[in-house]
């Protein structure tokens, strides 16, 4: 598929709106299918069921990642007390909860990174983390009911960073520090 000039910009610019519309229509689509009614009942939490990670799953993932990383923040490497579970490739960019995309962070590092892509040192560390801890991550994912698909996680990251190169986006290094995403980012995911 080749996008016409300007389309990538518009998709990026209006991404929250597009995502909200897509979710809304997907939820309506699922509800409209009468065969789903006995399964769904009248509960009104379909959107959160489809698109959010249940609290209990996040607790299990957080505990598993703590064991793996000796309770250190994925981004700054310092010890964490209260920890967040962050989507390495931002959820706003790719709203699926693949296990290998979860990392343990300080709430402050998580807030600071927000919905930007992480800079090269983090990307290198994440790729290594996925390979080194593949078995353990799959186990944590299984316990928490999350899908493990590292090949997809890598492909999604490659897609996200390739878009960032095209659109001239910045990647988050640490609080207040960003760097441009250049084409060298893509070499490590070839």
List of residues contacting Zn ion (CB under 5 A) = 73, 75-76, 106, 109
Least CB distance to Zn ion at residue 71 (A): 11
Q: Which is nearer to Zn ion, 75 or 185 (CB)?
A: 75
Helix (H, G, I), strand (E, B) or coil at 176: coil
Strand partners, 180: 170
User: 42 exposed, middle or buried (CB, 10 Å; 0-12, 13-18, 19+)?
Assistant: exposed
Is 76 or 173 the residue whose CB approaches Zn ion more closely? 76
In whole angstroms, the minimum distance from the beta carbon of 98 to Zn ion comes to: 22
Nearest residue by C-beta to Zn ion? 73
Shorter beta-carbon distance to Zn ion: residue 77 or 187 = 77
Number of other CB atoms surrounding residue 16 within 10 Å? 10
Using alpha carbons, select from 70, 68, 53 the residue that is nearest to residue 144: 53
Find the shortest distance in angstroms from Cβ 119 to Zn ion. 14
Q: Which is nearer to Zn ion, 110 or 148 (CB)?
A: 110
Q: Are the CB atoms for 118 and 172 separated by under 8 Å?
A: yes
């Amino acid at each position: 598929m080749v996008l016409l000039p300007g389309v990538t910009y518009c998709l990026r610019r209006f991404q929250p709106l597009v995502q909200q519309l897509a979710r809304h229509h997907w939820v309506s689509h699922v509800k409209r299918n009468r065969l789903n009614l006995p399964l769904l009942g009248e509960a009104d939490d379909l959107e959160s069921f489809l698109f959010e990670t249940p609290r209990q799953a996040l607790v299990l993932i957080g505990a598993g990642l703590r064991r793996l990383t000796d309770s250190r923040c994925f981004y700054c490497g310092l010890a964490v007390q209260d920890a967040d579970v962050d989507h390495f490739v931002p959820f706003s960019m790719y709203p699926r909860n693949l296990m290998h995309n979860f990392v343990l962070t300080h709430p402050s590092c998580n807030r600071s990174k927000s919905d930007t892509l992480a800079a090269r040192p983090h990307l290198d560390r994440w790729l290594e983390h996925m390979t080194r801890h593949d078995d353990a991550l799959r186990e944590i994912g299984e316990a928490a009911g999350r899908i493990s698909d590292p090949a997809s996680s890598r492909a999604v990251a490659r897609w996200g960073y390739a878009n960032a190169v095209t659109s001239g986006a910045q990647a988050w290094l640490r609080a207040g520090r960003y760097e441009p995403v250049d084409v060298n980012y893509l070499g490590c995911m070839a």
